[in-house]
Amino acid sequence: MLITILFLLLGFGILIFGAEFLVRGSASLAAKMGVSPLVTGLTVVAFGTSAPELVVNIYAAIRGTAEIAIGNIVGSNILNILFILGIAAIINPIKIKKSTVYKEIPFALLAAALVFVMGNDIFFDKYDFNAITRTDGIALISLFIIFMVYTFGLAKIEFAIEEIRIYSYRKSILLALAGLVGLFIGGKILVDNAVILARLAGLSETLIGLTIVAIGTSLPELATAVVATIHHHDDIVVGNVVGSNIFNIFWVLGLTSIISPLSVNFLINIDILVCIFATILLFLFTFIGCRRRLDRWQGILFVLLYAVYLVYSIQQATS
């Protein structure tokens, strides 16, 4: 037990350093290459911080633990918006670009809505089972490709370069790569040992996926968001969270279901609807108060809502 806890702390430490290196390296590359920090957050940073979800889901698909795979994605996306963006906004109010409000956030909402539709075959198609199939996975991957084409199109748009520390190309790339590796290793160490502790406590796979695994695999996003917020890289903060949510569903869940079709527990619909609600709330908050900004009070509300959701999930799983 003590060794497992020590490994948990080790994983968290590696995540923090990995996030620092990734933010510094990717922000420097963005400035040197003339690429918007938002694009960097939506691609390089989002992909890097989604790596733990990808590893866990592929492992879960191979082992046939579909509840962990789906719970991991849904739980991570809820945590990304309500807890991670909430914490970031509490540290420093976050400015959100117009394109993010009208394009990236709705894209994330579409992703969550598709999970609900694809995971309810009994309701929509009158089947006798619910599953995210290989054809669903191919559709999700296709949408991911469309999103990537759109994102790289943003790179051609002029933008105001933020004040960031610029390194040489070699050092920037090394920092970014070291950060990605750190996030990957740290996330795996943390999640593996968190799952061991959870199973020793007799928790269900669904609860493990929605809470322990989701929180563990989302720590890279949390670490990256906190570091980027401290450095006032708002575009990377928002791009990281929204981009990760899009990556998690279109890329990670899509690839996972292609490897092995995932049976869907009907009860997870409540969590999917919470994810949809959180995304809609984020969109609405950009029009409340100071336009296109997430203020501290909104961040506090997000964190409180996540706490309520977490307590509810635990009570439902243990009752």
Q: Is 60 exceeded by the pLDDT of residue 217?
A: yes
Residue 188 amino acid letter: K
Residue 83, number of CB atoms within 10 A of its CB:
24
Q: Which domain holds residue 48?
A: 2-158+166-318
Give the total number of structural domains in the chain.
1
- H-helix or E-strand spanning residue 94: strand 94-95
In this prediction, residue 140 has a pLDDT band, given cuts at 50, 70 and 90, of very high
Residue 172 has, within 13 A of its CA and on its CB side, a CA count of 16
Helix spans in 64-92 (H): 66-79, 86-91
SS3 314: helix
Percent of the residues in the chain that have a pLDDT greater than 90, as a whole number: 28
Check residue 132 and report its DSSP letter.
E
Q: What is d(CA 42, CA 186) in angstroms, rounded to the nearest whole number?
A: 21
Q: Which helix (H) or strand (E) holds 95?
A: strand 94-95
d(CA 11, CA 190): 5
Mean pLDDT of the chain: 81
DSSP string, 247-280: IIIIIIIHHHHHHS-EE--GGGHHHHHHHHHHHH
- What's the angle, vertex CA 111, arms to CA 93 and CA 203, rounded to 5? 85
Distances (CA, A) of 175 to 18, 39, 204, 230: 9, 18, 38, 18
SS3 state at 293: strand
The neighbour count for residue 29, using CB atoms within 10 Å, is 20
Longest dimension (CA), the chain: 58
Percent of the chain whose pLDDT exceeds 70: 82
pLDDT tens-digit map of 53-92? 777 777 777 777 777 788 889 988 999 999 999 999 999 8
Output DSSP code: residue 34.
T
* Whether the Cβ atoms of residue 107 and residue 147 lie closer than 8 Å to each other: yes
pLDDT at 116: 96
Selection from 5, 32, 66 nearest residue 197 by Cα: 5
Q: Please identify which residue in the block is written with the tokens 């962990």.
A: 68
The pLDDT of 307-313, averaged and rounded, is: 90
Q: Which of 34-43, 55-64, 138-147 has the highest mean pLDDT?
A: 138-147
**Cα–Cα distance, 297 to 90 (Å, whole number):** 7
pTM over cut 0.85: no
pLDDT digits (tens, 9 = 90+) for 92-136: 898 888 878 888 899 999 999 999 999 999 988 888 889 999 999
Query: Contact, 1 vs 131, CB < 8 A?
Result: no
pLDDT at 157: 45
Give the integer Cα–Cα distance in Å for 37 and 161: 8
The pLDDT, as a whole number, for residue 106 is: 93
Structure tokens at 273: 């609807």
- The answer on pLDDT for 162 being more than 50 is no
* Angle, helix 296-318 to helix 269-285, in steps of 10 degrees: 170
Assign residue 240 the CATH number of its domain: 1.20.1420.30
- Position 48 scores a pLDDT of 65
Question: CA separation (Å) from 262 to 63, 190, 246?
Answer: 11, 24, 19
Of 223, 253, 268, nearest to 241 by C-alpha is 223
